Amino acid sequence: MNTYKQNTESIISDFSLFEDWMDKYNFIIELGKSLPLIEERLKTDNYLINGCQSQVWLFAEYKEGAVIFTADSDAIITKGIVNILIRALSGLNPSEIIEADMSFVDEIGLREHLSPTRSNGLTAMIKQMKLYALVYKAKYGNPLENMTKETIHAQIIENLRNVYDPEIPVNVYDLGLIYNITVTDDFAVAIQMTLTSPNCPVAETLPINVRDAAASIRGVISVYVDLVFEPEWHQDLMTEAAKLELGLL
């Protein structure tokens, strides 16, 4: 396997062949055509990167001490951008990815010539790749070598018990607003939740609070919150402790 330095020197060398940025854009488009594609079955919300102008799916797997990335996007320029990052980081060990300073991105002028929204997307992609590396470093070595889907699931519930609808003195978990929590093998999290009514005044903020509570857990790579209203929430979904707190028992 090449080192990070070898990978980035190769990328810098390729971009130095072009003086005009229109030619470099065309090169990025060509890179998009050779992107190592994520499997279609993995193109789900669990692997969708938040913060990108276009839809970008990124997946990482751990093979023989190295992190291997695959991806896809619905925009050809974005496919090329993510392929540049994959060329730099894929095949490295988790520590190398975490420690990579990514200064080559500025050296080739990429960030400078992107729109603000695409530049934000670039930052989001880099962050996600480093998060994957953090998870694999934790999963296969200290300090989180004993982390499992079950422990992540339990920590999510614990954190959700600190999230409240400001108008109700009961946390969202005991209130029965959390319908399902799924944790994948690589610690991507999907949460299905509801509200006490579709017209709830915190309909916009409460799902964000739920997402942030799960995302704050060390090792979680991504969080997707699905807000649903079927089945409809009712008081029987509350825990005994919640009913007691509200004077329903």
* Same structural domain, 50 and 134: yes
Domain end position, chosen among 77, 106, 139: 139
The per-residue pLDDT for 143 is: 41
The answer to whether residue 200 is catalytic is: no
In the numeric block, the tokens 């990070």 are attached to: 4
Is there a domain that residue 193 lies in? Answer: yes
The per-residue pLDDT for 127 is: 95
* Same structural domain, 107 and 21: yes
Domain end position, chosen among 83, 116, 139: 139
* Same structural domain, 55 and 91: yes
Is there a domain that residue 179 lies in? Answer: yes
Q: Contact 55/77 with Cβ under 8 angstroms? A: no
**Ramachandran assignment for 153, one of left (phi > 0), alpha (psi -120 to 50 degrees), beta (any other):** alpha
Is there a domain that residue 21 lies in? Answer: yes
The per-residue pLDDT for 157 is: 96
Is there a domain that residue 144 lies in? Answer: no
From 28, 35, 52, 138, the catalytic residue? 52
Higher pLDDT, 138 or 51: 138
Percent of the chain predicted with pLDDT > 70 = 97
The model's pTM is: 0.62
Q: Contact 42/57 with Cβ under 8 angstroms? A: yes
* Same structural domain, 153 and 135: no
* Same structural domain, 51 and 153: no
The per-residue pLDDT for 247 is: 86
The range of the structural domain enclosing residue 233 comes to 149-245
